[in-house]
Amino acid sequence: MTTPKERSAQQSTRFDDRYYQRFYGEGATHDPERIGHIATAVHGMASWWEVRIETVLDVGAGMGMWRDWYVEHHPAVQVRSIDISRHACATWGHERRDISTWKPKRPFDLVVCHSVLQYLDDDRAASAIDHLGAATRCVLYLELPTRSDFRHMVDRERTDLDVHHRTGTWYRRLLGEQFQQAGAGLWVRRGAVPLFELEAAGR
């Protein structure tokens, strides 16, 4: 049985240059332009909710596209970017952290967790969700595919399928302990952002 440290090391070597060439090269589903669209929307929704974004934590920052968007469009915002991959950290300048075993000492106004949790086994994913809750002062943007998405939504040629295929119910059960779902990948920390009834999903 592998230890959390050993599993973290295995994940680190998985996300090497070949991985980024395969899933983030030409024709990738995520590129700076598309990330710019979602970052603009997330920041705008936070503003609509009167949440002032001054600090951001980018979990699984990869090529650093969220950080770069903030540097260009909101340079006063402090962005902390972390990743488990040695390659990503060395190439794009992140802190090497594993969100399943690490949580920050203080929360951030916005936490971005883009395509991370599906790579973790159940225990590590549950721990990561708990740590995301501790890290989030107001808003979490969460992107990851569920079992249904793998069957019906994703581009199977451009998506890494060697991950954990869990149900949306599994994720919602754990996220719901600390967050309220607002739709479009947005989750708000309970008590931090008041939502109208029809703004909140499943209320």
Q: At residue 10, does pLDDT exceed 60?
A: no
- Mean pLDDT to the nearest integer, 122-144: 98
- Residue 160's pLDDT is 86
Between the alpha carbon of residue 138 and those of residues 93, 102, 180, the distances in Å are 26, 19, 11
- Mean pLDDT to the nearest integer, 7-33: 76
Q: Which tens digit of pLDDT belongs to each residue from 148-185?
A: 999 998 888 778 899 999 999 999 999 999 999 999 99
H or E stretch including 68?
Answer: helix 65-73
Q: Which tens digit of pLDDT belongs to each residue from 96-122?
A: 999 999 999 999 999 999 999 999 999
* Residue in 140, 119, 136 with CA at minimum distance from that of residue 182: 140
- Residue 175's pLDDT is 98
- Residue 3's pLDDT is 61
Q: At residue 37, does pLDDT exceed 70?
A: yes
- Residue 2's pLDDT is 57
- Mean pLDDT to the nearest integer, 29-44: 93
- Mean pLDDT to the nearest integer, 138-145: 97
Q: 4-189 architecture in CATH?
A: 3-Layer(aba) Sandwich (3.40)
Exposure string (b/e) for 17-42, b if CB count within 10 Å is 16 or more? Answer: eebbeebbeeeeebeeeebbebbeeb
Q: At residue 139, does pLDDT exceed 80?
A: yes
- Residue 5's pLDDT is 57
Q: Which tens digit of pLDDT belongs to each residue from 48-84?
A: 999 999 999 999 999 999 999 999 999 999 999 999 9
What angle do helix axes 65-73 and 32-48 make, rounded to 10 degrees?
60
- Mean pLDDT to the nearest integer, 4-12: 57
The C-alpha atoms of residue 177 and residue 142 are separated, in whole angstroms, by: 15
Determine if residue 183 is left, alpha or beta; phi over 0 gives left, psi from -120 to 50 gives alpha, anything else beta. left
- Residue 120's pLDDT is 98
- Residue 20's pLDDT is 81
Q: At residue 9, does pLDDT exceed 60?
A: no
Q: Which residue has the higher pLDDT, 174 or 8?
A: 174
- Mean pLDDT to the nearest integer, 127-150: 97
Strands, DSSP E only, in 49-89?
A: 55-59, 78-83
